[in-house]
Amino acid sequence: MKKVLSPINDIIKNSKESILKKSLKKLDVVSREEFEVQKKILLKTRQKLESIEAKLDQLLAEKK
């Protein structure tokens, strides 16, 4: 009986995986790797912005 059900179980498993993958694509999610890359980019951008803000504050203070 198990030999008969094995192909059916494989079909069900593959179908579930396919449905799950399609559903995740619809959710517009990103991989952990892509998330980490974007996190690093955001950190660098934030640091640059803070540096520029500090320089601007210094220039404005010198102007007064």
Distance CA 9, CA 1 (A): 12
pLDDT value of residue 8:
83
Structure tokens at 29: 């999610």
Judged against a pLDDT cut of 90, whether residue 25 lies above it is answered with no
Mean pLDDT of 34-63: 97
Judged against a pLDDT cut of 90, whether residue 64 lies above it is answered with no
- Say what percent of the chain tops pLDDT 90: 55
- Cβ neighbours of residue 38 closer than 8 Å, sequence gap 6 or more: 30
Judged against a pLDDT cut of 90, whether residue 23 lies above it is answered with no
How many whole angstroms from its chain centre is CA 53? 28
